């Protein structure tokens, strides 16, 4: 079985993944998910993996942003909007998409470390792939202003430098 991995422009490819996002929510998550009211950033790039039926099976968003860590500007790569169709789960698609996204960020000269936000039940998935918990404070923008972003667990990955695990991170924009 061959797997097609495509990295596409984030803005132009949004309509391709709308159906995948709707399909990937389980009944338990639905509208009750704690993060449903959050305004999210749009990805700069998207990793798409198609299922054998030719429809998108898995998506991972890639974000590039200058944030502040303890008041110092630093360029980061972000992972967000990871979604896999329920009928395509447990086949390795998310792992493949995540690895392709990390390789893309490593190739991006400016990204010093990677940052993602995940639900607590997914932290072991990322930890087993080399990510570490960021236990400091995270701030993000929302339409109503700057908020302490505590809805999802932040995790970091070393890229060009060792990723911080403590301190204060300001996303200087919408979360991803």
Mind listing the pLDDT tens digit of every residue in the chain (176 residues)? 567 777 777 766 666 777 766 666 654 455 446 677 899 999 999 999 988 888 888 999 999 999 999 999 999 999 999 989 888 889 999 999 999 999 999 998 889 999 999 988 889 999 999 999 999 999 999 999 999 999 999 999 999 999 999 999 999 999 99
Ranges of H-type helices in the chain: 14-24, 93-107, 123-127
* pLDDT at residue 26, as a whole number: 55
* pLDDT at residue 132, as a whole number: 97
* pLDDT at residue 27, as a whole number: 44
Query: In this structure, how many other beta carbons lie within 10 angstroms of the beta carbon of residue 164?
Result: 19
Which residues, 6 or more positions from 125, have their beta carbon under 8 angstroms from its beta carbon?
Answer: 94, 118
* pLDDT at residue 76, as a whole number: 97
* pLDDT at residue 12, as a whole number: 65
Please give the Cα distance from 94 to 83 (Å, whole number). Answer: 8
């Amino acid at each position: 079985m061959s797997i097609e991995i495509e990295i596409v422009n984030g803005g132009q490819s949004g309509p391709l993944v709308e159906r995948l996002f709707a399909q990937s929510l389980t009944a338990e998550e639905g509208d009750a998910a704690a993060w449903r009211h959050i305004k999210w950033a749009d990805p700069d790039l998207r990793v798409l993996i198609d299922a054998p039926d030719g429809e998108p099976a898995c998506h991972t968003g890639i974000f590039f942003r200058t944030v502040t860590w303890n008041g110092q500007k630093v360029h980061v790569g972000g992972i967000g909007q990871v979604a896999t169709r329920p009928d395509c789960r447990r086949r390795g698609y998310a792992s493949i998409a995540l690895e392709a996204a990390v390789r893309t960020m490593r190739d991006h000269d400016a990204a010093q470390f990677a940052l993602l936000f995940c639900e607590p039940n997914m932290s072991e998935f990322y930890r087993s792939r080399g990510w570490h918990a960021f236990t400091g404070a995270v701030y993000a923008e929302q339409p109503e202003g700057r908020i302490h972003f505590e809805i999802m667990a932040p995790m970091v990955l070393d890229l060009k430098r060792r990723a911080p695990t403590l301190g204060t991170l300001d996303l200087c924009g919408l979360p991803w």
